[in-house]
Structure 1
Amino acid sequence: MIKKNLVSAAVVALMLSGCSSTPETYSESTGVTNIEPVTMETMFANDAAIYTEQDITEERDAILTESNGRYSADTFLYELESSGVDMSVIETGTINFEFDSAKLSTDAKALIQRHVKLLKESEQLKVILEGHTDSTGDRSYNLKLGERRALTVKDYAIAQGALPHQIEVISYGEEKLITHELNDKELRLNRRAEFVYK
C-alpha cells in the first residue's frame, strides 16, 4: 500500500476560486461555473494510495495556514482573539438553503457579513467554504449544487469586502450528511454551506 503525499493534489483541488465579485457585480445567480466540482472522492482517486483522516486533516490545516506564517490554525485564531478580535462568529458558521436552491436568505446574508468582518481583521486569515446537500436526487447533481451553494456564499463575501485569496471552496454534495432522516425538517439541516477555519 502506498501512502501518497497530498500537498500538491489537495492544494490544487481545493483551490476552486469561482467567480470573484465586487459589490457592483454580485447577484443571486452567481456561483455557476463550468469547473467540475471537487470532492473528497476526486481528490483521492488514486486507488493505489491509502489516505487517512489524519492526511485529510493535515492538508486542510496546510490550506488554512498557508498565509499566516504556517502557524497552526488554532494558534493563529488564538492570537487574533488575544488581540481583541471578536471570534464568536466561528461558532455559527452554517448557512442554510432551501430545497434545490443556492439563493441566500436575508439571515444568511447577515451571517456572511459577520464572517466578512472577521476576515477583514487579518488578510492572512483563511477559510474553507464547504458546500453540502441532502440526499434527495442524483449524486452528480448534488455535487454541483453543493458547489453552487459554496460559490454563492464566496461571491457574496467578496462583494462585502473579503479578499478572494482568503476563501477556498470544496463541494461534498451529499457525502457529509448531518442526518440521514428523510422528513423535511431533518433534510433541511443537510442543505448548507459551512465556514471552516480550523
Structure 2
Amino acid sequence: MERPLPLLLVAALALSGCATKTAPPTPDTPSAAELNAMNGRTGVDTRPIKPVERSPLDDPTSPVYRKVIYFDYDASEIRQQYADLLRAHANYIFNTPGVQVTLEGHSDERGTREYNLALGERRSQSVQRFLVAEGAPSERLSTLSYGEERPADPQRSEGAWQQNRRVELVY
C-alpha cells in the first residue's frame, strides 16, 4: 500500500497550485471610463502628436541621406552629378557642431592591391578637398582607403565594378 501516498502528494500539489486571486472591485472604486469622465476626458486622446525628431542623415527626403559618391574607372575626379550632394554635406558638416566624417575610398578589384589603395586614397582626398572648398572644417574630416578590400558588390562584372568605385561618407 505504498501507492496511495505518492498519488496523494501529486493530488495535493495539483490542488495547491499557484492560482492568483484578484480582489473583486468594490462598488465605490471608479472605472477607467469614470475617471476619464471625472477629469473631463472623453476616452479619445485628442492632444496633437509631437513629431519624432529625425537626423537629416536618416531622413530619406534629406539631401544628406545619400552618402556615397561614385567614380569613373581609374579616376578620382568628382563627377558633376555629385556636386550638389557634396555641397549639401559640406553645409551639414559646417552647421552641425561636433560632427566628424570619415571619407572611405574604395576601388574595384582590377589593378594591384597597392595601386587600388592609392586610388581609394586619391578618391577620398578628392572628396575632402571639395568639402573643404565648400566650407566644411578640415579638422572634422578624415580620409581612409580600403582599396579593393571591401567591395559593395563582390561579383566580377562591369555593374559590380561600378558599385565598388566609390567614396562613402561615414558620420
Question: Common fold, TM-score beyond 0.5?
Answer: yes
Aligned to 1:138: 112
Offset at residue 157 of structure 1 (A)? 0.3
Partner of 2:79: 105
Residue type of the partner of 1:119?
I
Q: Does 1:161 align with 2:139?
A: no
How far does the alpha carbon of each residue in 1:60-106 deviate from its partner, in whole angstroms, 9 at most, with x for none?
xxxxxxxxxxxxxxxxxxxxx94x87433453100000000001111
Which residue is equivalent to 1:92? 66
* Partners of 1:123 and 1:163 within 8 A in 2: no
Residue 147 of structure 1: aligned partner: 121
Segments of 5+ residues of structure 1 without an aligned counterpart are 1-80
Instruction: Supply the distance in 2 between the matched residues of 1:122 and 1:91 (Cα, whole angstroms).
Output: 15
TM-score scaled to structure 1, two decimals? 0.55
Cα deviation, residue 154, structure 1 = 0.2
Report matched runs for 1:1-198 at 5 Å: 82=53, 86-87=56-57, 88-197=62-171
* Runs of 5+ unmatched residues, structure 2: 1-51
Aligned partners of 1:130 and 1:119: how far apart in 2?
16
Stretch moving more, 186-195 or 103-112: 103-112
Larger radius of gyration: 2
Identity of aligned residues (%): 32
Q: How large is the Cα RMSD of the aligned pairs?
A: 1.7
Distance 1:85 1:189 in 2: 26
Paired amino acid for 1:96:
Y
Number of equivalenced pairs = 116
Task: Say if 2:71 and 2:166, in contact at 8 Å, map to a contact too.
Answer: yes
Answer yes or no: is the 8 Å Cα contact 2:94–2:135 preserved in 1: yes
CA contact under 8 A between 2:64 and 2:88: conserved in structure 1?
no
Which structure has more RCO (C-alpha within 8 Å, separation ≥ 6)? 1
- Give 4+ residue runs of structure 1 displaced > 4 Å after superposition: none
